Every structure is written in structure tokens, then in C-alpha cells.
Chain A
């Protein structure tokens, strides 16, 4: 069993880049004047010749990454999710996605948990944007260990990947020795027969709390961690629908276009069951301390418990 650590996934990302940089000379890291926040600074300190600060010019950064990839480099182009996936969407689509280049687009400070910076920086649309690009893999790891594994998997995978990082520190739970990360494979964190909660990213740890609370109240909830939103693990979702009959999805993203919609599109084709989507309900965020904001928007264990009980017809 690996030790429990409390780290933000952006830090896990930065540390893993250094590890990869030691063994793979093709890894190059690009940032847009945010290396302190995105933690690419670890790589910058260790491999300054392979770190490219593009300044506050994300569109150009994505294009430069594309050009580097055509020459055999493995670029990790990093900024806040709002700018990497949002501002530079069309560059990602046309210069990376269309030629299917081996560029890793990394969006840090995703979701509402950016906190005090407020709505302009709280990206709630990146998953929707990135999953709409043909051939793009979309990863949203949930804790330190999963992020480390995801960064390595992204580097080993040949093709474009979007990797979502969080700002907030989270206690690790993917510590067990048999933990195995594979792109496109969901993980059942807890088995259960009454209902299935499917969560992604930062929300997985909150869903874990909710499942424990539900257990105390006699509800046997299954919990699935979907770290890969695209390609999504259809089997694990359909199996859960067949065996538990009800699904709750939890994501730190607009309920339009994110995990919930991805799950619904699988289920409406293969096994229609009632689904309740917990996320940001098609609105912008606002300023405030991150943890309080998550609670405010219902992205917390008590609200997950409440919604789940309601879905099961219980008070």
C-alpha cells in the first residue's frame, strides 16, 4: 500500500514530468507564463533547455507544440484550462486534433475550485470542448497516484490527449498495490447494488465520502471513477445500469457536455435507466474560497447523498 498523500493533481503532474524527463529526451514542456501555478516549474528547474515559456500567448503555444510534435517531440502544452482548452480551442482543433499530432494539452485550475479568481478563470466547459474533437483522449484524474499514472500513460500514448488538472489539494485514495491505470478503463472503487454514482476528477473523493454516508443510512451504492471521459468505458457504465438501475453522475463541470452527458449518451443507446446529473447547472461561477464554492454549488458529499436518496425515493 502506497502512503496516503494530500496533493493537488497539478503538483503530481509537475513531479511526474520531471520523472519522465529523466528517461525520455523527447519530452518538452511548454507553458504560458503560469509555470509557478501549473507546477511545470519543477521541469523548468531540472531541464531548462527543454522548457519553453511562450509568454501569455496560448494560441501560439499550441501551434508551436504542434510543430514540435511533427519533429518527434512529445510536447506537454500547459496553461489554465480556460486558456489551453478555451481560448486556444480552435488551435487545438485545427493544428493538433485535425493532423492527430502527438501533443498533450494540459488544462490546470479546471472547474469552480479555482476559487477567488472567479468566473473568468473557472473553466466549466473544457471537457465538452475537448471531447468534441475527433481522436482526442480526455483524462481527468482524481488524486495524486492517478495523476502520476495518467501523465505517464499520456506520454506513452501516441496522439493528442487533453489532461485536466485541479488546483485544490486532495487526499489520495488510489493507494492500493493493485491500483492499475489504463486509458479508457473506469475503476469500480466500491461495489454496490442499490444505485451507482459515477464521478470524475476532484469529485471522486467527495463521492467516496458520500458513499460512506449512504452506507450508514443503509444504502448500498456503487462508486465508479471515470478518469477517462473519452474514450469512455461503456462496459462498466452499462453493467452498472443493468445491475443497479439508477445512475448519479458527479462532475466539476457544466452538466452540458461533460461526464453526465457522456454517460447518458452511452445509456440511451444501450441500457436506458434514470440518470441524475450533479454538476454546474449551466451557469457561470463566482468568487469565493474554493471549498466553500464547491459546497455552494452542491459539489459536496451532503448534496450527493441528498440527490441519491431522492433518486431512490427516500427522504
Chain B
């Protein structure tokens, strides 16, 4: 990846973090931890990988994205706003009465949201349906779905995984945001979903494990996924929950909590400092 391109993506990821934290702060509720851990993935998908047009969000030939871990929509909304689907200022209406930005993604309200999600495990099945429709219609679009590593406790994820492999959905690429934490604690202590890679291999997926904050690794993984034929792909992205805001990093308590005024100021100072450094380089 060119240095300038990587810089642009890093800036996008930082702005997504700023947007996500601003949204959660404005709502006085929401889920910052998993939005921050996936910021690089959102940035790469919306600013490099996916064939999409904010001026034509329903284009039938577009790539699709399903946020199966719907609670981390502050990250998705920030990416969509940054891409031009709606004004960045609108993030401040997140979770407010009358807002287009619901607490979990609503495809009927928010431009650019391809599927309503929030009840864990369900988005990935819808992504399978979209990928299958592409196969039936011989269309070339790809379907991406981001899941949490806690979310894969849900049995439906594995029903969907079996389905995707059986139908050879090589136009489907799942990404697991492997930040290691869920509401009740570390994923390995709560319900033990591991080994995640071996499980997906056994279910017939092409499996890659990467550092989910490293754009070179992210690019390489998505490029490889596009070359896989006859089976679906999964990218297991090792990430840090709460990444980018010092006091949120690796803290389970920041799964679903809004910062207070003082905490918000600290977060904004840190993120804007990162942004200034990136832009100055």
C-alpha cells in the first residue's frame, strides 16, 4: 500500500473514532468499545474495498455490508457520514427521538445501511441471503459482514456458516472483530468460543488471521479473500477493544457506556491529537 493511501485510511479511521465517540456522548448511551476496535475495518471497507456510491445507495450492483454486531453502529454511522451518505453533524442525533440514526442499524431509516441488525447472529444470515441472490442473478457484487467475537456464541452464526460453505458463497467475506471482550468479561472466560480459526476452517471457510489495526495486513487479507473460489472467507481481525481512547482500551466496562463530560474531553483531546499528528506527517 502506498504511504499516502495508508495515511488517508489512518485519518479516516481516526475520524470514524471521533464520530463514534461523539455519537455515543451525544446519546448519553451506546457502545463505544466495539466501534473503536473496528475503526480500521470500517475505514478500509468504506474507503478502499467496497464498490459503493453514496449518491446511489440502493444501486443493485453495489457491494453490500451487514453489521451483524449491530450495537457498534456508531462506528458504521461515522463511516457512512464520512463517506457522504449524510452530514457528519447528524451523528449528534444518534439515539435521539426522531433521529435517522437508531440505537441499532435500521435499513428503512438510514441511507447506506443495507440490513437492519442488532439481535446478534442474525445479520450474518441476511448476508448469506444477499450473497446467494448475487449468485442466482450472476451479479458480481460482494457481501461483507462484520461480527463480534462474543457474537459467535450465537448458534445461528454457525447455521449461517454451514449454509455459506454448502452454497459455496465465495462472494461472501466475514470479518470477526476479535477484540476478546464481551459484556460479562473476556470471551474465553464467558463462553469460550475458541479456537475461532479452527472452527471456521472446520466449517469450510478460507481463514485468515490478521492484526485488525494494520492497514497493510487488512489490505492483504481482503485482496486474498477476493481470489478464493468455491468457499466463503473469514478474516479474524485481532483488535483492541476501545482502541484510540486510552482509558477505554481493553476495558470491558466500555462495551456499552457513554463517557461523561470530562471523559469525553479526554477522548476528544487524544483523538484530535492523533489526527493532528497524522495530518502533520
Answer yes or no: do A and B interact. Answer: yes
Which residues of A approach B to under 8 Å, CB–CB?
28, 49-50, 52, 54-55, 57, 59-73, 75, 90-91, 94-95, 98-100
B156 touches A60 (CB 8 A): yes
Counting CB contacts under 8 A, is B128 at the interface?
A: yes
A163 to chain B, nearest CB (A): 19
Residues from chain A with a CB closer than 8 A to the CB of B176 are none
Partner of A67, one of B106, B129, B159, B166: B129
Are B106 and A63 closer than 8 Å at their CB atoms? no
A70 to B134, CA, bound (A): 11
CB contact between A60 and one of B107, B115, B134, B163 (< 8 Å): that residue: B163
Contact assessment for A70 and B115 in the assembled complex, using a CB-CB cutoff below 8 Å: yes
- List B contacts of A59 (CB < 8 A): 121-122, 125, 155-156, 159
Q: Is B137 at the interface (CB under 8 A from chain A)?
A: yes
- From B107, B114, B121, B128, contact of A64 by CB (8 A): B128
A62–B156 Cα gap in the complex (Å)? 11
Are A68 and B122 closer than 8 Å at their CB atoms? no
Categorize the interface residue count of chain B.
Answer: 35 or more
Given contacts A52-B132, A63-B128, A95-B125, contact A57 B163 (CB under 8 A): yes
CB-defined A-B contacts under 8 Å, sample of 21? A59-B121, A59-B125, A59-B156, A59-B159, A60-B125, A63-B126, A64-B125, A65-B129, A67-B115, A67-B132, A69-B129, A70-B64, A71-B133, A73-B133, A73-B136, A91-B119, A91-B122, A94-B118, A95-B115, A99-B108, A99-B115
Which A residues are in CB contact (< 8 Å) with B156? 59-60, 63, 91
Known contacts A54-B163, A66-B115; A71/B128 CB under 8 A: no
* Chain B, 32-78, CB within 8 A of any chain A CB: 60, 64, 66
User: Which chain B residues have a beta carbon within 8 Å of chain A's beta carbons?
Assistant: 60, 64, 66, 106-108, 114-116, 118-119, 121-134, 136-137, 155-156, 159-160, 162-163, 166-167
Residues of chain B lying within 8 A (CB to CB) of residue A60: 125, 128, 156, 159-160, 163
CB distance from B164 to the nearest CB of A (A): 10
10 closest A-B pairs (Cβ-Cβ)?
A67-B129, A63-B125, A71-B133, A60-B159, A67-B126, A57-B159, A64-B129, A99-B116, A68-B129, A67-B130
Residue of A nearest to B130 (CB): A67
Residue of chain A at shortest CB distance from B68: A63
Q: Which chain A residues border B162 with CB–CB below 8 Å?
A: 55, 57
Contacting residues, chain B, for A95 (C-beta < 8 A): 115-116, 119, 122, 125-126
Q: Of A52, A60, A75, A95, which is in contact with the most chain B CB atoms at under 10 Å from its CB?
A: A60
A94 and B119 contact, CB distance less than 8 A: yes
B163 touches A67 (CB 8 A): no
Q: Chain A residues near B128 (CB, 8 Å)?
A: 60, 63-64, 67
| A38 CB → nearest B CB, Å | 19
Find out whether the CB atom of B136 lies under 8 angstroms from the CB atom of A62.
Answer: no
Nearest Cβ in chain A — how far from B51, in angstroms? 15
Q: Is the CB of B129 within 8 A of A63?
A: yes
In the complex, the answer to whether B108 meets A66 with C-beta atoms within 8 Å is no
B160 touches A63 (CB 8 A): yes
Of B60, B115, B166, most A-chain CB atoms within 10 Å: B115
DSSP class of A's interface residues: helix, strand, loop or mixed?
Answer: helix
A54-B163, A57-B159, A91-B122 known; A68+B116 contact, CB < 8 A: no
CB distance from B70 to the nearest CB of A (A): 10
Among residues of A, the one whose C-beta sits closest to the C-beta of B161 is A60
Is B108 a contact partner of A100 (Cβ separation < 8 A)?
yes
A67 to B124, CA, bound (A): 9
Q: Which residues of B contact A72 (CB under 8 A)?
A: 60, 133
Q: Which residue on A lies nearest to B127, using beta carbons?
A: A67
A50 to B160 Cα, complex, angstroms: 19
A77 to B60, CA, bound (A): 23
- Among A62, A63, A69, A100, the one with the most B-chain Cβ atoms within 10 Å of its Cβ is A63
Q: Return chain B residues, CB-CB under 8 Å to A99.
A: 106-108, 115-116
Residues of chain B within 8 A of A54, CB atoms compared: 163
- A302-B221 Cα distance, complex, nearest whole Å: 70
Nearest-CB distance from A78 to chain B (Å)? Answer: 15
- Shortest A130–chain B CB gap in Å is 17
Residues in B neighbouring A52, C-beta threshold 8 A: 132, 167
Hey, which chain B residues are within 8 Å of A69, CB to CB?
Answer: 129
- CA distance in complex: A54, B156 (Å): 12
Q: Is the CB of B133 within 8 A of A67?
A: yes
A134 to chain B, nearest CB (A): 12
Contacts of B125 in A (CB 8 A): 59-64, 66-67, 91, 95
**Shortest Cβ distance from B157 into A: residue:** A60
CA distance A67 to B163 in the complex (A): 13
The minimal Cβ–Cβ distance linking B67 to chain A, given in whole angstroms, is: 13
Interface pair B116/A98, CB less than 8 Å apart: yes
- In Å, the complex CA distance between A57 and B160 comes to 9
Q: Are A68 and B159 in contact (CB under 8 A)?
A: no
Shortest Cβ distance from residue B141 to the other chain A in the assembled complex, whole angstroms: 9
What CA separation (Å) do A64 and B143 show in the bound complex? Answer: 13
Chain A residues contacting B159 (CB-CB under 8 Å) are 55, 57, 59-60
